[in-house]
Amino acid sequence: MAGKGSRTDPAWQYGVEKQVPAEGAMKGGVHRLKAHLAGTHKNTSPCPLVPPVVKEEMKQFLKDFESSKFRYQRNFEEAINGGAYFVGSGGVNGSVGANAPEHGNCCPSVQRGVRGPMDRFVNTPGDDEEGPTSGGKMTPTTVREQRNKVCLDIGRFFYENGIPFNVANSPSFVSMLRSVGNYGRGLKPPTMYELRNWILQEEVKTTNATVDEIKATWKTTRVSLLSDGWSDMRNKSLINFLVNNQHGTVFLKTVDASDCIKNAQKLFELLDGVIEEIGEDVVIQVVTDNASAYKAAGTLLMEKRKSLYWTPCATHCIDPMLEKIGDLTQQKNALIKAKKARKYLKKDLLRPAATRFATTFLTIQSMYELKEPLQQMFVSTEWGRCNWAKKADGKEIKKIIMDERSFWPSVVYSLKTTKPLVEVLRIVDGEQSPAMAFIYGAMDECKEKIAKNFDNEVSSYKEIWDIIDEKWEHQMHRDLHAAAYYLNPQFRWSPNVSQHPEIKRGLYNCMDRLIKSNDIYMKIEAQLDDYKYKNGMFGCRASLNSYMKRIPVTWWGHYGDEVPELQAFAMKILGLTCSASACERNWSTFNQVHTKRRNRLSTNRMNSLVYIMYNKKLKQKFIRKTKLKESDDPLVVDEVLSDNEWIANPSDEYDEACEEDEIDVVCRAIGERGESSSRKRKNVEVNLVDEDDDGLNSVDEDDIYRENDAPENDCFNNV
């Protein structure tokens, strides 16, 4: 049986791959193998020798697969019909989705074989005349041919304009085609003038309406102001500003900070100005990266604004921990060798992460899970016969994969020291629940897991603990983290709750800073006892059954009604984020707009484009993250742009001489094999065509428009 891709699917253990199929063998992939073993009679004959247990197992796999397909289709439909991409309600024919079905397929339902508006739209000139299919039924062959015509035109549009293929997965792409089909024959496409003027203005209004829905919750929940700097293709230092609460993240604007990026006073003035725009009464914390200028600016900000905190980005604090751990001798050789193997084996081992900090270690984990299949491949007859086995790089990679004395013990050591930190990143970047409620407890549990991985032998884990403690105590830890730990019943009511004095001190520091009314302060102080001792509704059956399952901020909303002042305070703290990574992940949005061929667009137009694109992506991401199952990994993404995000420097060479000294150290880390994941992840490489290298005429679009634009066409007040 022949197949492609990763062999992590458990069904492969019941099949043998043959390069030249033997008599009685069947062709196909893992899905057909499951159907063969399950005896479904769908596209394959049943296996007469399959044991009943395996047969039932394969039936369950197929059932789960169909359920996942339905769930994906349902979520995709909700994204289209629910406005995940901010569908407008205006236009010539009203709402884009006006004729969309409430349930079912992406396209409006029609009788099979009956020509509709889309059929008229795709007519060729010869089809305009009355023909045998006009107004009548179409054969399956004709339907397929007509669809192929449409698909060829769509494909040609993608190819000629360098559009990434994954754009076809966008809900707005499907909605656009649906709208065209509903319009029918004779649609006049929008001109470039319309796209840059009234259509853009309408989309800004629609985006504003969606953003305003989230803004309406700010006064109740309070918010975090997120800020992160980056450099564009012209080496300008830009800063993104976003606002986050438990209902979603909103992009505000981008500021050119080239003249102040390293000046603490100017950064302070910039941050202070944005807070003034939002309103100090709704901001609890400002989250930035950890550069010295930002740290100094944050101190100045807290001195002026007495009712908010500056908090360093947790993701940017964990990153240096991973980097420093990766520089340890026991780690470095494993990272460098693993990267060589990953490059040689292409993308089959890559686990691209939503943050670049976790990519290295997730990929090493993937490699460890595939250790046995990798070794089997390199000792197989097929490998011995192929040309790659005779080349120097093939021999080198085989040596690495078969190295049980040094390489694999180093991989195990790497996983035992870094996997707990990567789990903290999952919490910080998961967005399924606000991370502030869990960050303090997660860091404590991280250290305990590392110690347990080394059988609590202090000499083995002390160096790792020292690295974590240095960043946590001197850079990362804040009063808000301690207060959230105290107010999270999952920790506070645990028999293993930490009694460290800094927790209660952090809670009261937050109360001193955030609560201005002495009357409310005293009420909250008294109500803390009800929470601590589970009095009133806190001790009811529903509360005790759900506090470990519900998101903490939601739990307080359900069971804190008898202590309204404490309830309001707890929900404001527990609803906060602790990372500014939402800013960082959308740099590509700006690169798509701020290209060399668009750099003469009016500032308002560029701001409007970024404002629309950024907020669409943020809402789509929020919807996607909140629908993750427990088994889904929030760090793993479906798309990856490059493999240059490894912590190990590509120019580094591993030191063969020091391997012998490592063996005694890393072998102590070897224990039971970690949990393996059988979930198959698809990695799609996206290659964007540079607008300056596409072979098209490089005339700037604003050169064409400048004489024709009326002054009012440049008026956008969205940002």
What pTM was estimated for this model as a whole? 0.69
Question: SS3 sequence, 167-198?
Answer: HHHCHHHHHHHHHHHHHCCCCCCCCHHHHHCH
Q: What is the overall mean pLDDT for the chain? A: 76
The whole-angstrom separation of Cα 443 and Cα 471 is 11
DSSP letters, 226-265, are: EEEEEE-TT--EEEEEEEEETTEEEEEEEEE-TTTTT-HH
Q: What is the pLDDT of residues 455-499, one digit of tens each?
A: 999 999 999 999 999 999 888 899 999 999 999 999 999 999 999
pLDDT at residue 127, rounded to an integer: 43
- Quote the pLDDT of residue 464: 94
Q: How confident is the model at residue 79 (pLDDT cuts 50, 70, 90)?
A: low
The mean per-residue pLDDT over the stretch 579-607 comes to 59
How confident is the model over 349-365, as a mean pLDDT? 66
Which of 114, 6, 697, 26 is CA-nearest to residue 348?
Answer: 6
Task: Map residue 283 onto helix, strand or coil.
Answer: strand
170 confidence band (pLDDT: 50, 70, 90):
confident
Reply yes or no on whether the pLDDT at 708 is more than 80: no
CA distance 477 to 436: 11
Residues 283-305 have pLDDT tens digits of 999 999 888 999 999 999 999 99
Would you place residue 527 in the very low, low, confident or very high pLDDT band (cuts 50, 70, 90)?
very high
d(CA 712, CA 719): 16
Q: Which residues pair with 238 in a beta bridge?
A: 230, 256
Whether 585 shows a pLDDT value over 70: the answer reads: no
Distance CA 413, CA 338 (A): 13
Residue 524 has φ and ψ, to the nearest 5°, of -65, -40
Predicted pLDDT of residue 356: 57
Residue 160 banded pLDDT, cuts 50, 70, 90: very high
Question: What pLDDT, in 10s, does the model give residues 666-685?
Answer: 333 333 333 333 333 333 33
* Band of pLDDT at residue 148, cut at 50, 70 and 90: very high
Superfamily of structural domain 221-312+580-625: Ribonuclease H-like superfamily/Ribonuclease H (3.30.420.10)
Once rounded to an integer, what is the mean pLDDT over residues 364-386?
A: 90
Q: Where are the domains of the chain?
A: 10-81, 117-202, 221-312+580-625
Structure-model confidence comparison of residues 308 and 12, the more confident one:
308
| Averaged pLDDT, 546-558 | 95
* Winning range, highest mean pLDDT, from 115-124, 166-175, 516-525, 615-624: 516-525
How many of the other CB atoms lie within 10 Å of CB of 114?
Answer: 12
Give the pLDDT confidence score for residue 716 in this predicted structure: 32
Contact 578, 314 (CB under 8 A): yes
pLDDT at 43 > cutoff 80: no
For residues 379-406, one letter each, b for 16 or more C-beta atoms within 10 angstroms of the residue's C-beta and e for the rest, the string is eeeeeeeeeeeeeeebeebbebbeeeeb
The whole-angstrom separation of Cα 153 and Cα 144 is 14
Closest CA to 466 of 451, 479, 455: 451
* Backbone Cα Rg of the chain: 29
DSSP 379: T
Whole-angstrom distance, CA of residue 669 vs CA of residue 464: 13
The single-letter DSSP state of residue 565 is H
Q: Is the pLDDT of residue 632 over 70?
A: no
- Burial of 154 (C-beta count, 10 Å sphere; 0-12/13-18/19+): middle
What pLDDT, on the 0 to 100 scale, is given for residue 76?
Answer: 59
Which pLDDT belongs to residue 688?
32
Residue 408 has pLDDT above 90, yes or no: yes
Stretch 689-718: mean pLDDT, rounded? 36
Output the pLDDT for position 302.
96
What's the rounded mean pLDDT across residues 515-531? 96
Q: Which region among 47-56, 270-279, 487-496, 692-701 has the lowest average model confidence (pLDDT)?
A: 692-701
Asked if residue 572 has pLDDT above 90, the reply is yes
Residue that wins the pLDDT comparison between 459 and 116: 459
Please report the pLDDT score of residue 626 as a whole number: 64
Looking at residue 77, what is its pLDDT? 59
Q: State the pLDDT at residue 355.
A: 53
